Structure 1
Amino acid sequence: MSDDLRLGLNLGYWQRHATDATDLVQAAERLGYDSVWTAEAYGSDVFTPLAWYGARTTRIKLGTSVAQISARSPVTTAMTAMTLDHLTGGRLLLGIGASGPQVVEGWYGRPFPYPLARTREYIDIMRKVWRREAPVTNDGPHYPLPYPGGTGLGKPLKLITHPLRPEIPVYLGAEGPKNVALAAELTDGWLPLFTIPQQIPALYGDSLAKASPGFDIAAMVLVMVTNDLREALDTVKLMLTLYIGGMGARSKNFHADIISRMGYAEAAEKIQHLYLTGKKDEAFKAIPDTLADDISLLGPPARIRERLRLWRDSPVTTLLAMGPHDEPALRTVRDLVLG
C-alpha cells in the first residue's frame, strides 16, 4: 500500500497523425510529474519522441512503455538505451515487452514462440553490454553471440562507449502471471496495461513474491476529469473494444485473457466474437460499464479523489496517467494524485 504514489504521464504512440507533445511534456515537468512515457505498435517508434522530449526538458524521467523486443536485437536496444541515457543525464527508464504474435510475426517477421525465454535472454544480454565486464557472448538459442555459422569471422565485442549508468532501470510490460513473475525476478518494475487495483494481490501476489525492495509497479490508467461520466465511460469502452476484440487473434489475445482473469470472461468472449464477425457497435455495447470504471479514474474531481483510494491501497507505486491533454488537465490530475 502507498499513500505516496508517484505520478507519470503516458503519451502512448502516435495515432493517424504525428503528434509533438513537447508543450505537454514541459508542462508535466513544471508541475512535478516524475516521468513521461512513450510507446510503439506499428507506427511511431518509442525512442525518437523520447529523445526529442529529453532535449527539451531537464528533470523529468523518460520511459518506454514499451520497446518491443522483436523490433531490435538486444544489443541494438542496449546501444540505443545507453545513448539516450547519456544524452539526457541518466533519465531513461527502459520498458520492454514481447508484444503478440500478430505484430511480431506479421510486422517484424520474427518468430513469437518462447516469449518468456526470449525476454530473459534479451535482458541478460543488455546488462552484459552495459556492464562492459567482458566481450559480450551468449549461448542461448534465441540471440546467440557470436552468430553461429555465417562467415565464421564473428568475434565477441565490448561496447566502445562507457555507459553513464551500467545499470539502466529495466521495466517489463506484462499481463500473464508467468510474465509478471519474470518481471519481479529480473527487472526493476512492472508496467501493467489493464489493472483493477484491488485485484492485484489475488491475481499476482504469487507472481510478485520475488520482487526486490523498491520494485516499481507503474500502472497505466486512463484519467478523465469531467462532469460527463457517461462520455468518459464510453471513451474507455471504445479503447477496450479494439483491445479485447481486435488486438490479437481469436485463439490468442492476451488483452482478452487478462479481462477474463479479472472476472469478465463471459463478456470478453462475447466482445471478441462480435468484433471479429464485423459487429463492432455491438461489441462496444457489450463492454460492461463496471469494467471500464474499474480500470480507470473517471468523473468529477471528488469522485476521482475517492476512487484513488483503491489505487493507494494497492501495490501500485506509480500511476501513469493517460488522457490529460493540456496544462489545466495536468494540474488537476497532479493535485488529485499528489496533493
Structure 2
Amino acid sequence: MKLGLQMGYWQKGPIPNMVGLAQEAEDLGYDSVFTGEAYGSDALTPLTWIGAHTSKIRLGTSVMQISARTPACAAMSALTLDHMSNGRLTLGIGVSGPQVVEGWYGQPFNRPLERTREWIDIFRQVIAREGPVTLNGKQYQLPLKGGMNLGKPLKSITHPLRSHIPVFLGAEGPKNVALAAEQFDGWLPMFVSPYRMDIYDDSLKNKPEGFEIPVSINIHLNDNLDEALLPTKWMLALYLGGMGAKNDNFHKNLMGRMGFGDAAQEVQDIYMSGDIEKAVNAVPDALADEISLSGPKDRIKERIQDWKKTDVTSLIVGRKETAEESLDVVRFMAEVTL
C-alpha cells in the first residue's frame, strides 16, 4: 500500500510549511501529494508551487471542481502543469454540490452524471490531441451552437507531454462510483470504512486493471481513544449538518448505505437546530473510528493491517493544524506503513 499526503484547501490563510511538508513526504517515500478547493483557495496554484519545489512525488488534485473550469480550460492547465512537473500530474475532479455550484459558481447543478461524462470526453480529446475537439452534448457543445456562429473545431497548439493524463473521479453515490470505474483511472472516495467496502462491490465490478483507489484519512494520535475520536466527530457533524441541503445531503445518504442512517439523521436534525456540540456527541463512535486512524500508536498500527486487506491502493494522510503536528504524523505513517 502506498502513502500520499493530503494538503486539502486553505482555511483563513496559506497552509503552514506547505512546501517543507511535501518535501519531507517525498524524502520519506510518499507516492503522492494532493491539494483541494472549496470556495476559497484553488487547487492548481498550490500544487504548481509544490511541484516547483519537489522532483519525484506525484501531484494530484483532490478534488478540482468541474463547474469552476470548462473541460478545455482544465485540459490546458493540466497539460501545462504536466509538462512543468515532468509528467507527475494526476487530476482528481468532482462535481461538488448544488450549494457551491449554484451559489458560488453560478452554474446549474442538474444532471451531474451527464455533465461529468461530457466533461471527461472533451478533456480526453484535448490531451490525446488526435484531431480538432468536437462534442455535440447536452451540457457542452464544441463548437458552441448559437452565439455568433463563428466557432470552429480547434486542436491544442501545445503538444501534451503525455497523451493520457490520469484522471480520478471524486464520488460518493453508487452511480458516480460506477462512472469512475467505467471511464476514469481511479476513484477518490469520502468517508470509507475498511470493514464496509462491500457496499461498493456492484459499482466497482467493471473497474479495469490498475484502477487506483486513494483514500484520504485523518490520523489522530492520542492514548485516550475518546479524545482521539473527537476531531473526526466534529468533522462528521459539519458534513452531515452543514455541508448540504437538509433533504439532499450526499454525505448523509452515504452514511445510510454504510448502516448509520438513523444516527446520521439525528446528527443533522440536532446540528440544524443550532446545538452543534450536541450534534458532535451524537455522532457514533464506531463511525468516527472506522473512517479514521485514531488512538494510541500501537492500535493504529493494527488498524492499518485492515486497510491493507482492501482494494484501497493508497492511504492519503491528512495534514494537521500545525506544521509540527503534520510532520509527526507524516513520519509516523511512513515508519509503520513504508
TM-score, normalization: structure 2? 0.97
CA-atom RMSD in angstroms: 1.0
| Paired residues for 1:184-203 under 5 Å | 184-200=181-197, 202-203=198-199
Query: SS of 2:151's equivalent?
Result: coil
Moved over 4 A (4+): none
| Paired residues for 1:65-80 under 5 Å | 65-80=62-77
For residue 256 of structure 1, what is the aligned residue in structure 2?
A: 252
Query: SS of 1:198's equivalent?
Result: coil
How far is 1:123 from its partner? 0.5
Q: Please list the CA deviations of residues 285-319 of structure 1 after superposition, one character each: whole Å capped at 9, or x if unmatched.
A: 11011110010111122101111122111111111
For residue 337 of structure 2, what is the aligned residue in structure 1?
A: 337
Query: How many angstroms apart in 1 are the aligned matches of 2:263 and 2:233?
Result: 12
Query: How many angstroms apart in 1 are the aligned matches of 2:222 and 2:165?
Result: 38
How far is 1:198 from its partner? 2.0
For residue 124 of structure 2, what is the aligned residue in structure 1?
A: 127
Query: How many angstroms apart in 1 are the aligned matches of 2:272 and 2:142?
Result: 41
Query: How many angstroms apart in 1 are the aligned matches of 2:110 and 2:252?
Result: 19
How far is 1:86 from its partner? 0.5
| Paired residues for 1:1-339 under 5 Å | 5-20=1-16, 21-200=18-197, 202-323=198-319, 325-338=325-338
Amino acid aligned to 2:149: G
Query: How many angstroms apart in 1 are the aligned matches of 2:276 and 2:298?
Result: 33
Query: How many angstroms apart in 1 are the aligned matches of 2:19 and 2:225?
Result: 29
- The number of residue pairs the alignment matches comes to 333
How far is 1:164 from its partner? 0.4
Query: How many angstroms apart in 2 are the aligned matches of 1:269 and 1:99?
Result: 21
Query: How many angstroms apart in 2 are the aligned matches of 1:240 and 1:329?
Result: 21
Q: Which moved more, 1:326-335 or 1:247-256?
A: 326-335
Structure 2: give runs of 5+ residues left out of the alignment: none
Query: How many angstroms apart in 1 are the aligned matches of 2:303 and 2:329?
Result: 18
Q: Contact 2:188 / 2:213 at 8 angstroms: preserved in 1?
A: yes
Query: How many angstroms apart in 2 are the aligned matches of 1:263 and 1:270?
Result: 14
How far is 1:328 from its partner? 3.2
Query: What percent of counterpart residues are identical?
Result: 55
TM-score, normalization: structure 1? 0.96
Q: Contact 1:224 / 1:323 at 8 angstroms: preserved in 2?
A: no
